[in-house]
Amino acid sequence: MPRCILSPLDLTVEELDELMDTAMDIMKDPEKYSHTMDGKVLATLFFEPSTRTRLSFEAAMLRLGGKTMGFHSADSSSATKGETVADTIRVMSQFADICAMRHPKEGAALVAAEKSDIPIINAGDGGHQHPTQTLTDLMTIKALKGHFDNLTVGMCGDLKFGRTVHSLIRALVRYENVKFIFISPKELMLPGYIRDDLLIRNNVEFREVTKLEDVLSELDLLYMTRVQRERFFNEEDYVRLKDFYILDRKKMELAGKDMLVLHPLPRVNEIATEIDDDPRAAYFKQVRYGMFIRMALILKLLDVKVK
């Protein structure tokens, strides 16, 4: 099986550092990297909607000199005729050199990786993992805060189904003395396999609260998330919970002057647009960092070294 990235833990802390260094170097000198993927093809297989992740991968490959191909919905693929993920990836292995795949089912990327001849990057599998969003988040924190150790990180919104939250927690617990405050309605609290099996088992310090206002002053970083309509079984629950948190100017007055606000995007109502120009709002910069770290990841998985 080629090297695949299914979870952020598929990369060591040292490899993450190396990726972030490469991404920083690409930002400084993009020209140096602009032909590193000449003749290579990236397939983007998206069985679920996306704006950022798919186009960020495509932009990354194009800026490295490579080409892209793929589909952006299950409806436009032979999945509608009953083709399995395993068969789809065997076919793609004949066409492309590397593949980014998103699928609504947890574990789909693992199934693909087991049958693939080319590196598979999990671009989101259901409520499970989204490792390149985590790389994006880490890159943003590193660039804007300079370190991971000793941070107090607030995570707010849908902590139950939020795959970006689950992946980022897994990545951050590997650093020294990172504390978490989880802010959610009780229906959207962290799943047990994160709370008990990861945090409690590893003696990570954390609290679970429902009121955002009560904890804003303690945070170095606030990771806001959307309540995801597509993960709910009934519309009534979604409607009841969707506007549970709205980060606005008044709430930002309670936060420290250096508290970063991150969001994987898309946002709906959970961050008022009135704070978009607040210097602490980093979610659009985050999108840009995401493209550079994906460039670094493509180079690594295809084993291309640039002097």
Q: Which two tokens stand for residue 35?
A: 């032909």
User: Is 142 an annotated catalytic residue?
Assistant: no
Nearest to 69 by CA among 50, 97, 104: 97
Based on the shown chain and the rule CB under 6 A, indicate whether residue 266 belongs to the binding site for ligand CP.
yes
| Span 141-170, contacts to ligand CP by CB under 6 A | none
Based on the shown chain and the rule CB under 6 A, indicate whether residue 73 belongs to the binding site for ligand CP.
no
Nearest approach, Cβ of residue 163 and ligand CP (Å): 9
User: Is 263 an annotated catalytic residue?
Assistant: no
- The count of C-alpha atoms lying within 13 angstroms of the C-alpha of 60, restricted to the half-sphere facing its C-beta, is 29
- 197 burial type by CB count under 10 A (0-12 exposed, 13-18 middle, 19+ buried): exposed
User: Which of the stretches 45-53, 83-91, 200-208, 297-305 binds ligand CP when contact is defined by CB under 6 A?
Assistant: 45-53
- State how far the Cα of 261 lies from the Cα of 275, in Å rounded to an integer: 10
Based on the shown chain and the rule CB under 6 A, indicate whether residue 265 belongs to the binding site for ligand CP.
yes
Task: Pick the closer one to ligand CP by CB: 118 or 265.
Answer: 265
**Across the chain, which distance is largest between two alpha carbons, in Å?**
56
User: Is 102 an annotated catalytic residue?
Assistant: yes
Peptide bond into 266 cis (omega under 30): yes
Among 8, 19, 47, 52, binds ligand CP (CB under 6 A): 52
Based on the shown chain and the rule CB under 6 A, indicate whether residue 53 belongs to the binding site for ligand CP.
yes
Task: Pick the closer one to ligand CP by CB: 36 or 129.
Answer: 129
User: Is 174 an annotated catalytic residue?
Assistant: no
User: Is 81 an annotated catalytic residue?
Assistant: yes
CB 290 within 8 A of CB 133: yes
For 206, the 3-state DSSP assignment is: strand
Based on the shown chain and the rule CB under 6 A, indicate whether residue 68 belongs to the binding site for ligand CP.
no
- 157 burial type by CB count under 10 A (0-12 exposed, 13-18 middle, 19+ buried): buried
Nearest approach, Cβ of residue 264 and ligand CP (Å): 4
Based on the shown chain and the rule CB under 6 A, indicate whether residue 40 belongs to the binding site for ligand CP.
no
Q: Which residues are catalytic?
A: 52-53, 81, 102, 130
Positions that interact with ligand CP (CB under 6 A): 50-53, 124, 133, 264-266
